[in-house]
Structure 1
């Protein structure tokens, strides 16, 4: 199936209290492992790459691989640019055929975040591309502490109305680069945002959220959950466990284990019964 923006599918998942996966890939073997999982479990999914990853490997290298292993999959898959903070990165991703983009102006003042996001929406919607943005700020290690702040219902509504984004990432106690039990979700805040926000909500840093929270999240508006840290842990653990193996053998094992990890996440979120 051809790559897809997933705009209508994400909206449908939000209406029916289901969750789409956003899976981050940092290198070719992770992309191959994700593709293996989706051959076995054909569900719609956002395959997410950051500008940093694309810069290291090159758009030409990674988009060629993505065309080869993702476009033939039986379910709709979005090529998703994750956490772009520069407008130039958005323009480049659009030129290379990405079907969704996440512009992250959450560290900017509200008015500047709105202005930059409006520009992204103008470019992306002209191409039929989904736009995700962030209000509030989901923190990660090493950032200035003054950047971190939780999303309020009032600013969420104002931001969506001003920008016409398709999905909104919220800060509700979640954190990037944490593992299970590292985040403590403010359910009351999420419920208040969901009650007034007209677009699907996105949870970044989902690796730091306990599986016990998944049903609560989906019934309170979270329609997309992003996972990266769990897969990176698989990558590092495999490398450390196989120090005497040839790189190709380590990469083959990484692909297998990444595929298993993605399939497990699909099952945990009960997506397999809702195949597109």
Structure 2
């Protein structure tokens, strides 16, 4: 068994009306929690690393642990660079053995985004690696990604962008948001399905990606705060909207915040209920189990990819 690219994953997902979950990883417990959840639901999965994760754990450590996960589970796993800021970051990931990379040029003007994305695509394709690009801007904060303003993706521009860059998938902005504090509790989130429909019509069969698609589980937030946390109330993306998107052209949905909240809540609970505990396996094990539960729920209720490996 070996890591796979997302190309075949997305083809099956598009035709089957489901999406593949892309979960951010930072350490062994998160990796194990995610792949155990995917294995339990017989689903392919994408493990993705931000540049912050690469700095924290190191690309060689992360790659070795993901290779172990492939061998241990036997499921289809792609290793993906999330929000690569430049060609240097892309090259680092490809040299480490990643099978997929994202170049995020969305903060540049349109022509510069096209030019830089095309440069990344040419390099990655020459090394057998697929490329995700981004058009439009998601507001919010997550790791090194910071944006104050939301700019929806223009469908006509999306067609031009894909044709000129040769990217393999495209992250678009239709109302999702990065980070835990996506919307105030009183706000009603609404995805722009009209934009998604137009892009799907103009780019038939082309895989679309949604970033910033965590639900911000209120129970996890409440547990964190119950055991000493200070996380503000927030609202994420409703499950029914994400499931509708994944039945359309969306083939990859990114979820990071929900894993962080679940793991933190589980660890805080262990410390709160058993303050004498100091064995890392006990509290990190609880965090790992919480992540697996989240992943299984997402696969079944958000992504629709249960038994997609059959």
Q: Cα offset for 1:12? A: 2.7
Partner secondary structure for residue 15 of structure 1: helix
Q: 1:209–1:179: structure 2 CA closer, same or farther, 3 Å change rule?
A: farther
Residues in 2 aligned to 1:124 and 1:185: alpha-carbon distance in whole angstroms? 31
Q: Which stretch of the first structure deviates more once superposed, 1-10 or 151-160?
A: 1-10
Q: TM-score, normalised by structure 1?
A: 0.93
Matched pairs, number: 275
Aligned to 1:184: 190
Residue 30 of structure 2 corresponds to residue 24 of structure 1: no
Contact 1:6 1:76 in 2 (8 A): no
Contact 1:5–1:100 at 8 Å: present in 2 too? yes
Indicate the residue corresponding to 1:143 in structure 2.
146
The partner residue of 1:154 within 153, 156, 181 is 156
Higher deviation after alignment, 217-226 or 108-117:
217-226
For each residue in 1:69-122, what CA deviation from the matched residue of structure 2 results, as whole angstroms up to 9, or x when unmatched?
A: 234422211011111112111000000100001111111111111111111111
Shift of 1:184: 2.1
Aligned to 1:213: 241
1:39 pairs with 2:71: no
Contact kept, 8 Å, 2:263 with 2:286, in 1: the verdict is no
Per the normalisation by structure 2, the TM-score is 0.83
CA-atom RMSD in angstroms: 1.9
Is the 1:29–1:251 Cα contact (8 Å) retained in structure 2?
Answer: yes
Unaligned runs of 5+ in 2: 215-235
CA distance in 1, matches of 2:211, 2:51: 17
Partner of residue 262, structure 2: 234
1:200-238 per-residue CA deviation (whole Å, 9 max, x = no partner) reads 111111113211113421343111111111111012112
> Residues 33 and 201 from structure 1, CA distance in 2 versus in 1: closer, same or farther, beyond 3 angstroms?
same
Change (3 A) 1:41 1:191: same
Q: CA deviation at 1:138?
A: 1.5
Q: Residue 98 of structure 1 aligns to a residue in which SS?
A: coil
Match of 1:258 in 2: 291
